Amino acid sequence: MSQELTILGISAAVTAAIQLCGFGLAFALQTEKFYDILGGINFLALGIYSAIDGGHKDEAWTDNPRKVACTVVFCVSRTWLLVFLAWRAHERGGDSRFDGVKEKFFMFLFYWVFQGIWVFCISMPMILVNSSDKRYEGFSILDWVSIVAFGMAVIIEIFADVQKAIWVKKGREGGFCQIGIWKYSRHPNYFGEILQWWSAFGFAFGSGTGWNDAQWWASILSPLFTMQILLNTGGTGVMQANSTQSLKRYYEGYPEYSLYRESTSILIPFIGYKYVPKCLKRTLFFDFGCYEYQIEEQDEGENETKNFNYKTFE
């Protein structure tokens, strides 16, 4: 078995061990307090393990700038996620996701298994980079673009998280966040997260054997899984933030929100978004119709859900 597949397999085993042990302890204690913490620790464990085992006799891991750069950015990203989620859980005094869940064995187990799959899939590009036995021959143009984008995406996510946390601490002035990078994107933190893993996927290309490398193609699960969770999964990410329940308080409590929404990109930080044609918003900018506010109207005794065009109220 090749070094790449061996390290990939051991990484999967490490992930399974961490998550299943975490589940066993959490279920016994009936707590979710270290769910996110073990997710972050799992990421760092894979980064450290793949770095240690990723060197080979002709070239130590520390002598390969590609491996060092990718692992450092990866670990900074996941350390921030660990710190931020732990702080947020502490501030909220718990995690409502697990209300009525942690008492049910198989349902609670599913949450931990899902986290393990998420951690492993996200980490696949970094694991490929560290496990590769290709000698370092310099950075290609794709390498430079990808690693710079990877680092910038981490910074964007950190800035977005910190700016919103400060806004919340100050009392949520204005009702919805419009400070800093939030002036140009309604979900800049999610944009940063998605950009990170497309960048990591691009960077991993130079560690494979080319376009026919099956492990490199498999690592596309990292950005695709991230996009699925953040864009399409109910109860999380953009879907949760743009649910009828979430949007109702903005549209009914803050008339100016409709203008902010029309003139601010849903993901990609952008100036002049209100001038972008709707066809581009619905495609390239991911501002899909399913994210529009849905209201229920009574029509001849029946509930009917209609899509409101709030531009008419500007």
pLDDT in tens, 161-198: 999 999 999 999 889 999 999 999 999 999 999 999 99
3-class secondary structure, 43 = helix
187-239 tens-digit pLDDT: 999 999 999 999 999 999 999 989 999 999 999 999 999 999 999 887 778 88
pLDDT category, 253, cuts 50, 70, 90?
A: confident
Place of tokens 């979900």: 187
Say if residue 53's pLDDT is above 50. Answer: yes
| Percent of the chain at pLDDT exceeding 90 | 64
Residue type, 235: G
Predicted pLDDT at 118: 95
The residues with which 305 forms a beta bridge, in sequence order, are 296
Antiparallel, parallel or unpaired: β 294-299 and 302-307: antiparallel
Give the chain's mean pLDDT: 88
Overall size of the chain counted in residues: 314
Q: Global pTM?
A: 0.88
Dist. CA 282–CA 23, nearest whole Å: 40
Measure the CA angle with vertex 225, ends 69 and 89; round to 5°. Answer: 80
Give the pLDDT score at 70.
96
Distance CA(238)–CA(231), nearest Å, equals 5
Report the alpha-carbon angle 280-246-184, nearest 5.
40
State whether the Cα torsion 24-30-31-36 is positive or negative.
positive
- The pLDDT score that the predictor gives to residue 243 is 80
User: Which DSSP string do the residues of 277-298 spell out, in sequence order?
Assistant: -HHHHTTTT---GGGS-EEEEE
Tokens of 193: 């997260």
Q: Which of 63, 61, 37 is nearest to 48 (CA)?
A: 61
Percent of residues in the chain assigned helix, strand, coil, to nearest 5 = 70, 5, 25
CA distance 61 to 66: 9
pLDDT tens string 278-305? 999 999 999 998 888 877 554 444 443 3
> Does residue 65 surpass a pLDDT of 80?
yes
